[in-house]
Amino acid sequence: MAEALSALGEWERSDYAGTLRSEDAGRVVTVMGWVHGRRDHGGVIFIDLRDRSGLVQIVLDPERSALAHAAGAGVRLEFVIAVRGTIVPRSPETVNPDLATGAIEVVGDEVRILNSARPSPFPVDDAIDAAEAVRLRYRYLDLRRPRMFRNLWLRHRLAARTRGYLDAHGFVEVETPVLTRSTPEGARDYLVPSRVNPGTFFALPQSPQLFKQMLMVAGVDRYYQIARCFRDEDLRADRQPEFTQIDLEMSFLGRPAIFRLMEGLVAELFAEADVAMPPLPLPVLGYAEAMARFGCDRPDTRFGLELVDCAPVFAGSGFKVFADALAKGGTIKAIVAPDGSQLSRKDLDDLTEFVAIYGAKGLAWIRVNPDGWQSPIVKFLSDDERARLTAAAGLVPGNVVMLVADTPRIVHDALAALRLRLGAKLGMIDERKKHLVWVTDFPLFEYDEEHRRHVAVHHPFTAPVEEDLDTLERDPLAVRAQAYDLVLNGTEIGGGSVRIHQPTVQARVFGVLGIGAEEAQDKFGFLLEALASGAPPHGGLAFGFDRLVMLLAGEESIREVIAFPKTQKAMDLMTEAPSTVDARQLRELGIKLDR
């Protein structure tokens, strides 16, 4: 076969295969691509030629061109070929309505085999059932599939639309360093040893956070970057060790103005993906309200099943499970399924096991029948409690109410997950809908029981809500942050905050976090010096670009919209990375492996 291979020579592609249409009939074209299918029908050979634009049928008739027919006889699937021929209409009975080029075909006059191909480990087609590990091992073949190229093409268009929108609104694209300093807080860093400065390390950036703040101090005013970021953390379907953010920062803007600008960007991206955008402005939920109604800070607002606060209902209850939970400072909340006929006793038992995953010790349920209540716990409830529960939850015959009593964290975690599971099971989620909501006023701090100290919920550079400044040291857990997330159908697609721009406030926040003046100067000295040099009020956010593309493409994993992703064990199966390195390289870096 090697002798039969041809170079392009002076041949040039005139058209992409998938762009040819009926109005092109009669034109002589040169198309190039891969052999997607080959059929020999009584001497006439039909080849489906594929490139990134789609397929076109090639007809090789020995009576028209014996040389072209002979070349076609030697091709196999995934061979790379070039064809020169004439576009002709198909006969009515052979038109393929499922193919964009199905009304025409190219009658070949010349065929050049540009490269052969060994048999593929899976069909290069959308209808495959190959394991993901196999697809990632042969990613260059996987990316030939139409679906995968559509995802890459959408990603490209969304990036281009992003740049166009931000350019039109006065943003400046600035690249920030990839080799930087390791700083505390956040996820685990990827470290890079320095050969020139033995014993020291760079860190790959988890985000360009400090650099974009420096750009605001520098007067850039509006910055953006489609930035690569790195976090050494456990992986899942929507998380990768290296990922891409649309990273933004703005000076002299408060939260309402930031929201308006970002909603405009999201509307542009929805339009590019041909996805219906909800009306603007988008709704805004405070963190406390989101937790009270949905049990989580990234609520899926496409359906109801909101949480009902039942702690007042059972205050002073004689039911020991509820009484003990409240006595320990816990709470009781419920979800009401409107049509309980869809839930069998086995379903309820399964849901009880499900909430146990989230730490709940049980799931109390009550089926509201026309002739009374059915439940293992009914005998423990007083008539007053039954009346109060009916009023609080709006119960009517046919409902099933499910209750969890425990610490607030466990109750919220369990019921937030239960809500999503029930919404899917009861057919209450319309997958065609896109709901967006801003969630604001997160807590600035949370308490780390293991290390017995306060930690930042977002990062230590987030500004407190101004009216909470007086309680910063006195009651840190009551302080709200000027932080915000944008949530799409229950998935966070972006988050950010107004930043601290005054050194005195930054020092006070460091103090609550247990970072003293000396440590702050050692780790963040350049930031403190910059803030003291006339830093403007500023804020920003970052969109998870991979996640956003995934959702707009209708995929379930970000690996489907990243050209060369890692596995859930952070491995690149195609290049077999990470890998061992030569001992000489380690010696140059002053590293000795302990194994």
495, part of any domain? no
142 and 240 in a single domain? The answer is yes
546, part of any domain? yes
264 and 163 in a single domain? The answer is yes
User: What does the pLDDT read at residue 479?
Assistant: 96
Contacts of 70 (CB under 8 A, 6+ apart): 62
Q: Can you spell out the DSSP letters for 396-410? A: -TT-EEEEEEE-HHH
For the chain, the domain total comes to: 4
pLDDT, tens digit, for every residue of 25-46? 999 999 999 999 999 987 899 9
Rounded-to-integer distance, Cα 252 and Cα 179, Å: 29
pLDDT, tens digit, for every residue of 369-426? 999 999 999 999 999 999 999 999 999 999 999 999 999 999 999 999 999 999 999 9
Mean pLDDT to the nearest integer, 56-66: 96
43 and 29 in a single domain? The answer is yes
List strand residue ranges (DSSP E) for 52-200, in order: 54-60, 80-89, 104-115, 172-173, 191-193
289, part of any domain? no
522 and 546 in a single domain? The answer is no
218, part of any domain? yes
120, part of any domain? no
Asked whether residue 337 carries a pLDDT value surpassing 60, the answer given is yes
Torsion over CA: 138, 139, 141, 145 (sign): positive
Range of 211's domain?
Answer: 128-283+537-595
- CATH code for the domain of 553: 3.30.930.10
- CATH code for the domain of 371: 3.30.1360.30
94 and 166 in a single domain? The answer is no
Q: Which of 91, 115, 139 is the last residue of a domain?
A: 115
- CATH code for the domain of 14: 2.40.50.140
Rounded-to-integer distance, Cα 176 and Cα 293, Å: 40
pLDDT, tens digit, for every residue of 171-201? 999 999 999 988 765 678 999 999 999 999 9
507 and 382 in a single domain? The answer is no
Q: How sure is the predictor about 2, in pLDDT bands with cuts at 50, 70 and 90?
A: very low
User: What does the pLDDT read at residue 5?
Assistant: 57
Q: Which of 83, 115, 147 is the last residue of a domain?
A: 115
- What does pLDDT average to over the chain? 94
Residue corresponding to tokens 């409902």: 399
CA distances from residue 183 to 176, 470, 525 in whole angstroms, order as listed: 16, 28, 12
509, part of any domain? yes
CA distances from residue 88 to 28, 70, 103, 567 in whole angstroms, order as listed: 10, 21, 9, 46
Rounded-to-integer distance, Cα 86 and Cα 525, Å: 70
415 and 454 in a single domain? The answer is no
CB 442 within 8 Å of CB 457? yes
User: What does the pLDDT read at residue 186?
Assistant: 66
Q: How sure is the predictor about 128, in pLDDT bands with cuts at 50, 70 and 90?
A: confident
103 and 10 in a single domain? The answer is yes
User: What does the pLDDT read at residue 1?
Assistant: 42
21, part of any domain? yes
351, part of any domain? yes
220 and 313 in a single domain? The answer is no
Question: pTM for the whole thing?
Answer: 0.92
